[in-house]
Amino acid sequence: MTSLKRRLFAILVAATGIIWLVAGAWIYVSSRSELEHVLDTRLQEAAKMVHSLVDGRNLPTANDATGPTLLLPEPSAYERQLSCQIWSLDGHLVARSTGAPAVQLADNVDGYSDRVVAGESWRVYAIEDPVKRVRVMVGDRIGLRQKLVNDLIIGLLAPALLMLPVLGALIWISLGRGLRPLRDMAEDLQQRDAEDMRPLDAGKLPTELRPLAKALNALFDKVEAARRHEREITAFAAHELRTPLAGLKTQTQIARAASDPAVRDHALSQILISVDRTTRLVRQLLALTKLEAESPVVRSASHKAADLLAEIVSTGPPAANIRVEIDPALAEVRLPGPREIWMLALRNVHENAIQHMPDGGVVAWRPTLGATGLMVIDQGPGIPDEELDLVTQRFYRGRNRSPSGTGLGLTIVAIAAQRLGVELELKNRTDRTGLQVAFIIARP
Amino acid sequence: MRVLVVEDDPILLDGIKVGLALGGVTVDGVATCADARAALATSRFDAIVLDLMLPDGSGLDVLGEMRGRADATPVLLLTALDETADRILGLDSGADDYVGKPFDLDELAARVRAVARRHAGRAAPLMLAGAIALDPSTLSVTVAGEPVSLSRREFSVLAALMERPGMVRSKGEIEDRLYGWQEEVESNTVEVHIHNLRNKIGRTAIETVRGLGYRMRSAT
């Protein structure tokens, strides 16, 4: 059920109904046993009273033409309940009350018994007196007893049943009142615009709503942080894209305005370089956005490091005068996780190394110690120690920047490593200038 | 006119250099704050085009240092941050103008001319000396209404002299206006250009002040 109010209402009404039913049943059972006890006692008392009034000496005999004497005046309604018979011990009906059947009500000797006489159930108390030579029987119609019990119960339950709709209405109204803070909160949230991330005032809310408000506030914080992050990235990206665009525009205007073919050719070649660089920047921005949007990966397949590196080297831009060495031992290093993320990470590290290489340099890929990962070692200028922690930030381009760098390469590498669950380690070489970038894979 | 451009993007720097040079401006380009400081320490410029985000610091630092030592060279800020707050901060830090990237090359050149002109204390875009009128925006010169054809170097020499008619310009100052750092300076070029200019705009227009340099004759 989607409505909390209706749900609560149903629960409360059902619970109340069940309680009333149980109470009703209880009242029914206990009233009935109590009533039976009272009626039984009355039977006994009536029997004793009749017995004490009977004079044994002048009992009419079975041969009396008068027949049995009518003991009591004609009663009506409930009054007709009790029936009395007096039998002689030799089996003659001496006397009976009005409405009492002519058939013997009980055949037992003494005490209470239930019996069906002429299609009717009877409760009978019998006293046998050997001295007076009579048997006195007083009986109740059980049907009448039942009617008495039923009337009693109906008398008790009818007002309760009539009150049920009133109670339901009261419950409904109270629920509306009780749930008001929830509605107020919903209205407050409804009236907000998309930008409004102010926290809800948990202090003003009832205790039950506070966890909800706190959870909502935590969510607001997260959404706000994510949005701020996004805004910063967008601003940064816009900023980083504007400079190459300004370069493109300027060079284009020069190409149009220049009358000297040499100047025009130079401008056109600059435009080409700039378009390539801007393309790379956009590609990296898209790769970064995609990488950030992906959920953390489950380690599934694993890939041979040597295979991925061979592909990167063969498909990458040709690097004149730079030698790339791939240690054959890398064939044994397995890289767990999605292939495309590994390719992205390795390619960016590789391009970063190539970009910073002097002519004739060597970029070397090797397994890390213990072969739990892989690393690349270059002979470039390295990264100043104080910048090592900064170079993985977006668009950070340190002092030893390469002219074609975008400031995103190592950011992509760092995020990819995080997604892959491997440790990225950047450090300068100690034997000479150069950077060493290692991916350390924790053993499963 | 000689302008220093401080911009770390090599293609944009190249574009501004070539573009301003097309407008008859001598341009020196540097890519870092450190190089900008070195350039400012050794040369005089008529204007500086300064990028804000540089690899070794902010252009605003360089600007602050300049204004701190009472260097009034006009500065035109060039930046990709073009929020109003950034513009205000830049102008309040002592910049004379502000251009957001990407910009129009002609507009940048016009703004550079404008800040240089205001700095030189001239309000009119045309430089006038007697019957001679020089328009820096179109690189054209007229004498008594008649257009005169000048080479780029001759134009630069004349512009340097006409910026402040009556003031003496040394040969060295004129050379500074003519050549960037990468260019070879020939020892007698200024004399050659002055000679050619006199042939084109009239013998008496430029006066030689012995031992000091040259000046425009202010009144005819």
- In the listed set B98, B119, B140, which residue is the last one of a domain according to the structure? B119
| Cross-strand partners of A125 | A112, A138
A7 vs A81, higher pLDDT: A7
Nearest by CB: A245 against B14, B102, B106:
B102
- Name the more confident of A35 and B47: B47
Interface test with B, best of A231, A234, A243 (most B CBs within 10 A): A243
Strands B206-209 and B213-216, sheet pairing: antiparallel
**Which of B87, B119, B151 is a domain's end point?**
B119
Q: Which of A290, A311, A338 marks a domain boundary? A: A290
pLDDT mean over A112-134: 83
Domain endpoint, select from A264, A290, A316: A290
Spatial contact of A395 and A408, defined as CB atoms under 8 Å apart: yes
Q: Strand B75-79 to strand B57-58: parallel, antiparallel, or no bridges (unpaired)?
A: unpaired
Using alpha carbons only, how large is chain A's radius of gyration in Å?
51
Is the same domain home to A320 and A254? Answer: no
Query: Under 8 Å CB-to-CB from A148, ≥6 apart: which residues?
Result: A35, A78
Answer yes or no: is pLDDT of A63 > 60.
no
A267 with B103: Cβ contact below 8 A: no
Q: What is the CATH number of the domain that holds B136?
A: 1.10.10.10
- B22 to A403: CB separation less than 8 angstroms, yes or no: no
pTM assigned to the model:
0.59
Q: Share the mean pLDDT of chain A.
A: 82
Pair (A285, A311) in one structural domain: no
pLDDT cut 90: percent of chain A above it? 6
Is the Cβ–Cβ distance between B194 and B202 less than 8 Å? no
Residue A363 has pLDDT above 50, yes or no: yes
Q: Are residues B114 and B39 in the same domain?
A: yes
- How far apart (Å, rounded) are the C-alpha atoms in residues B111 and B107? 6
Say what the pLDDT of residue A137 is.
Answer: 86
Query: pLDDT value at position A107?
Result: 73
Q: Are strands A423-428 and B132-135 parallel, antiparallel or unpaired?
A: unpaired
Mean per-residue pLDDT, A21-50? 87
Q: Which DSSP string corresponds to A325-394?
A: EE-GGGGG-EEES-HHHHHHHHHHHHHHHHHTPPTT-EEEEEEPGGGSEEEEE--S----GGGTTTTTST
Q: What is the pLDDT of residues A340-359, one digit of tens each?
A: 888 888 988 898 888 888 88
ipTM score assigned to the predicted complex:
0.74
Give the pLDDT score at A70. Answer: 56
In a domain, A397, yes or no: yes
Structure tokens at B189: 């070029």
Q: Could you tell me if A150 and A8 lie in one domain?
A: yes
Percent of chain A with pLDDT over 70: 91
Do A371 and A424 lie in a common domain? yes
Query: Min CA distance, B74 vs chain A (Å)?
Result: 22
The pLDDT, as a whole number, for residue B64 is: 92
A309, A433 Cβ separation under 8 angstroms: no
CA B113 to CA A44: how far, in whole Å? 131
Question: Which chain B residues are within 8 Å of A251, Cβ to Cβ?
Answer: 11, 14-15, 18
Q: What is the pLDDT of residues A209-245, one digit of tens each?
A: 888 888 988 998 988 888 887 887 777 777 778 888 9
For A284-331, strand residue ranges (E) read: 302-304, 323-326
Tell if the CB–CB gap between B105 and A250 is shorter than 8 Å. Answer: yes
Nearest-angstrom CA–CA distance, A289 and A88: 112
Residues B12 and B86 in one domain: yes
Could you tell me if B15 and B110 lie in one domain? Answer: yes
Report the domain count for chain A: 3
Regarding whether B110 and B91 lie in a shared domain, the answer is yes
Same-domain check for residues B166 and B109: no
Domain that holds residue B147: 127-216
Whether A158 and A55 share a structural domain: yes
Residue ranges, chain B, pLDDT below 70: 82, 182, 218-220
Q: Are residue A11 and residue A134 in the same domain, yes or no? A: yes
| A255 neighbors A268 (Cβ within 8 angstroms) | yes
- Quote the Cα angle for B141-B189-B199, to 5°: 40
Query: What residues of chain B lie within 8 A of the CB of A249, using their CB?
Result: 102-105
Q: Are residues B34 and B13 in the same domain?
A: yes
Domain of residue A315, residue span: 296-440
Q: Assess whether A93 and A44 both reside in one domain.
A: yes
CB of A270 within 8 A of CB of B14? yes
Q: Are A50 and A89 contained in the same domain?
A: yes
Q: Is the same domain home to A257 and A388?
A: no
Pair A316, A413 in one domain = yes
Tell me the pLDDT tens digit for each residue of A378-408. 888 888 888 888 888 777 777 777 767 777 8
Provide the pLDDT for residue B220: 46
For residue A79, tell me if it sits in a domain.
yes
Residues B145 and B111 in one domain: no
> pLDDT tens for residues A303-334?
888 888 888 888 877 777 888 888 888 888 88
- The β-bridge partners of B97 are B76
CB within 8 Å: B19 and A274: no
CATH code: domain of residue B8: 3.40.50.2300
Minimal Cβ distance to B18: which of A238, A254, A274: A254
A124 has a pLDDT exceeding 70? yes
- The answer to whether residues B101 and B11 belong to one domain is yes
* Amino acid A68: pLDDT: 55
Q: Are residues B34 and B109 in the same domain?
A: yes
- Residue range B164-174, pLDDT digits in tens: 777 888 888 88
- A246 to chain B: closest CA residue: B102
| Cβ within 8 Å, pair A403-B106 | no
3-state percent helix, strand, coil for chain A, nearest multiple of 5: 55, 15, 30
Domain boundary among B92, B119, B146: B119
Residues B135 and B34 placed together within one structural domain of the fold: no
**Position A67 pLDDT exceeds 60:** no
- Asked if A284 is an interface residue toward chain B (Cβ–Cβ < 8 A), one would say no
| A262 plus A303 within the same structural domain | no
What radius of gyration do chain B's Cα atoms show?
Answer: 18
Query: What pLDDT, on the 0 to 100 scale, is given for residue A272?
Result: 92
In this structure, are B98 and B146 located in the same domain?
A: no
Query: How many Cα atoms sit within 13 Å of A408 on the Cβ side?
Result: 22
